[in-house]
Amino acid sequence: MATNHLLEIKNHGQSIWMDNLSRDIIESGELQNLVENQGISGITSNPAIFEKAITGNGIYDADIEAGMRAGLPTYKIYESLVFADIRNACDILRPVYDATKGLDGYVSIEVPPTIAHDTQATINEARRYCQEIGRENVMIKIPGTNAGLPAVEATIAAGINVNITLLFAVASYVNAAWAYIRGLEKRVNEGQDISKIASVASFFLSRIDTNIDAKIDAKLQKGVDDINHEARLRAVRGKIAIANAKIAYQEYQNIIASDRWQALAAKGAKVQRLLWASTSTKDSSYSDVMYVNELIGHDTVNTLPPGTIKACADHCHVSDSLETGVAEAHNLIESLKDPDININIEAVMSELLVEGIDKFVQPFQSLMNSLEEKLKVLSPV
């Protein structure tokens, strides 16, 4: 029988979560099979995933009609559909949550992307989502924006599991890690338990390479003065996201070595794991498992879309790769400042964060519009 490399990865201290959720995979038993037999130990969702799941899928029609008969507004109908899927997925993953003592077994759901820049609204929605879903293994996704990080701190202090999402820059990850720590410290100061709270910091990958590769390709298309210049440009193509992630992991190690973290760990705190997100390669010339093979390491999570899960089970090359080539990673990032390359990585990361929120707002609004249309079709004349 062929080796399932997803199961091998677990032996290297990395958890594999799936970046996909729909009622079809819950009701067909596919999710149960992935959890029980394929080594999937968590789920991440986002507005784009739910738009794809709900739009044009008759499996939700009975619940949409029930919501309509109950006189619910469109947004509340949306929530009723999504919360039901999240609860059912949480129940399927509960045995993993119990077996790993709360390390894994989580299902992530995003607060509405339209409030990404509103701290108090984010705190309110995180609390409400957690309460209404009513599952210990739900994890609320909050974007790592300037407004999001104080919300993370308050939400952790309230005892809610948090997935800090849309992290691109290493500095943003570090800020997210300290927001988690401050939230735990608040709980300690209030004499509350911190041993049952979990958090991941979702660090995005392929979008970085897509953005930087496009800039490199534009420079190459314009024409370069010599072969060495061209070689220097080509040397960073498809390499920056992984280099950036390796540097972030070094920062993670510095943070968990700090006195403030050690004091929390002594009280039972769980480390906030780095989670690799946006892991399907967008350039067909790259390996389809590039963002898995290169970033396997302890106390991390990789969240994979279904296609990458299949590819990885089949042909991932599993090794402790995350702490290799760290000096080269620093050199690669530094090389972007080279006049021959001249790419401002800070500007790229800022651009990606703005785009990232937009990429969730658009499908969220599109889903609301689709639900409105469906309500018109289903409503009795």
Catalytic positions, written as ranges: 141
Determine which helix (DSSP H) or strand (DSSP E) holds 256, and give its type and residue range: helix 240-256
Following CA atoms 375, 27, 96, 315 in sequence, which dihedral angle do they give, to the nearest 10 degrees?
A: -100
C-alpha–C-alpha distance, residues 80 and 133, integer Å: 10
Amino acid code (one letter) for 281: T
Residue 300 is given by DSSP the state E
Asked if residues 153 and 182 have their Cβ atoms less than 8 Å apart, the reply is yes
C-alpha–C-alpha distance, residues 182 and 370, integer Å: 40
Q: Is 12 exposed, middle or buried (0-12, 13-18, 19+ CB in 10 A)?
A: middle
Q: Is 13 exposed, middle or buried (0-12, 13-18, 19+ CB in 10 A)?
A: middle
Number of other residues whose CB lies within 10 A of the CB of residue 367: 22
Asked if residues 138 and 174 have their Cβ atoms less than 8 Å apart, the reply is no
Token duo for residue 304: 């994979």
The DSSP secondary structure of 58-114, one letter per residue, reads GGGHHHHHHHHHTT--HHHHHHHHHHHHHHHHHHHHHHHHHHTTTSS-EEEEEPPGG
For β-strands 273-277 and 199-204, DSSP reports them as parallel
Residue 325 is given by DSSP the state S
Q: Is 141 exposed, middle or buried (0-12, 13-18, 19+ CB in 10 A)?
A: buried
The DSSP secondary structure of 357-373, one letter per residue, reads HHHHHHHHHHHHHHHHH
